[in-house]
Amino acid sequence: MGNTIGEILISYDINKSHTDVKKSMISKGYNDSFKFQGETKTYYLPNTTLWHPKKSSNMAINDLQSICNGLGVVLEKAVAVKASEFKGI
């Protein structure tokens, strides 16, 4: 479980350095917003939720753990799920 490559949604709670963690994840190709095909509106995810078009849930958790360890941040909890079909408002 957690090895299928696809669109992954990851949400997490950390104890500090939220901006630094988010910037580091974005530098690895994660996104904090999306657009539905054919629409111009940009949808922004909640502050500590990101998505990646080509990762597995294991890879996403490993990326987050590595970044948190490197920045001295406590990763309190996280969940990463395959999200190949979703709708947002």
Could you list the pLDDT tens digit for every one of the 89 residues in the chain? Answer: 578 888 999 999 999 999 999 999 999 999 999 888 888 999 999 999 999 999 999 999 999 999 999 999 999 999 999 987 766 66
What is the reported pLDDT for 39? 83
What is the reported pLDDT for 86? 67
Domain ranges (residues) in the chain = 6-82
State whether CATH 3.30.70.2360 applies to domain 6-82.
Answer: yes
What is the reported pLDDT for 38? 83
Closest CA to 14 of 71, 70, 57, 77: 77
